[in-house]
Amino acid sequence: MTKHLYILTGASRGMGLAIAEQLLQAGNSLLCISRHSNDTLATAAQKADVPLLQWTQDLADGQSASERLRQWLASQNPAELSGATLINNAGVIPPIGPLSQSQPADLALALRVGLEAPMQLCAAFLGATDAWTIPRRVLNISSGLGRSAMASQAGYCAAKAGMDHFTRCMALDEALKAHGAKVCSLAPGVIDTDMQVQLRGAAGKAFPDQAKFAQLKEKGLLSSPQQAARQVLSFLARPDFGLNPIGDVRD
């Protein structure tokens, strides 16, 4: 029986973990790439009888992760797969504050994890599977902050804006191929994760929009990781996925 291969980054917590849990269904196999493995996810996969690999990999070193992925994919038999999907979900928000007060190392980490690694993993995935004729999809988890600037968020905004734009380029590349991958950079909405806790807890002087994020929580306007994961996977399954390389779950 063929299986659909899903490759997911940032799967050990938050929305990434919720996506991984919801992918533990018959007919799927899953490779998760995160800094830490998740024992609960491993137990759930065993119970669901779904093949699961968890690579403990720091995506600050996207080159090593992408080289490992390329080599692993080269060893796979596409005849045993019904499809293959890469989901770039991992991201880092640097310490909140104006760019003038940001540290070079913090900015470098945000860009390496949020932009450099997804680009490298996309290159590895698409390159290693270029001759495969099965359906392939790439879903990059972006953010509204990649499309609307916000004070004290230069590093995160830049990473997500870069993700959107390289996805546009990738879509043009793949459209020229007979069996090109369908790709999309998707904003998943506002989700109640550790990142939101960080934004709500920022000092008002360092983050002018802090009160807005606090109000989102107070008014119950945040999606749970599980709800957001369902919306993301529903968008991924749409027949028109990739028609527009830039998307939003609210579209």
pLDDT in tens, 14-71: 999 999 999 999 999 999 999 999 999 999 999 999 999 999 999 999 999 999 999 9
Place of tokens 């992918």: 23
What does the pLDDT read at residue 51?
98
Give the confidence band of 221 by pLDDT, cuts at 50, 70, 90: low
pLDDT tens column, 101-150: 999 999 999 999 999 999 999 999 999 999 999 999 999 999 998 999 98
Is-contact 235 186, C-beta < 8 A?
A: yes
With a cut of 90, say whether residue 192 has pLDDT above it: no
Q: Which residues are paired to 6 by β-bridges?
A: 30, 85
If residue 87 lies in a helix (H) or strand (E), which one and from where to where? strand 81-88
Task: Give which of 182, 166, 164 is closest to 235, Cα–Cα.
Answer: 182
- Tokens representing 113 are 């994890």
Quote the CA–CA distance of 118 and 57 in Å, as a whole number.
13
Angle 154-175/117-128 helices, nearest 10 degrees? 20
Q: What per-residue confidence (pLDDT) applies to 208?
A: 80
Question: What percent of the chain clears pLDDT 70, i.e. is strictly above it?
Answer: 94
pLDDT > 90? residue 215: no
pTM of the full predicted structure? 0.94
What's the alpha-carbon Rg for the chain, to the nearest Å?
18
Residue 188 has pLDDT above 80, yes or no: yes
Provide the 10 A C-beta neighbour count for residue 72. Answer: 15
At residue 207, the pLDDT reads 78
3-state secondary structure 133-194: CCCEEEEEECCHHHCCCCCCCHHHHHHHHHHHHHHHHHHHHHHCCCCCCEEEEEECCCECCH
Q: Which amino acid is it at 208? A: P
Backbone φ and ψ of 195, nearest 5°: -65, -40
Task: Provide the pLDDT for residue 200.
Answer: 66
* CA distance linking residue 11 with residue 37, whole number of Å: 8
Q: CB-based burial of residue 69 (10 Å sphere; 0-12 exposed, 13-18 middle, 19+ buried)?
A: buried
Q: How confident is the model at residue 222 (pLDDT cuts 50, 70, 90)?
A: confident
Q: Which residue has the higher pLDDT, 73 or 202?
A: 73
Q: What is the pLDDT of residue 186?
A: 98
pLDDT band for position 78 (50/70/90)?
very high
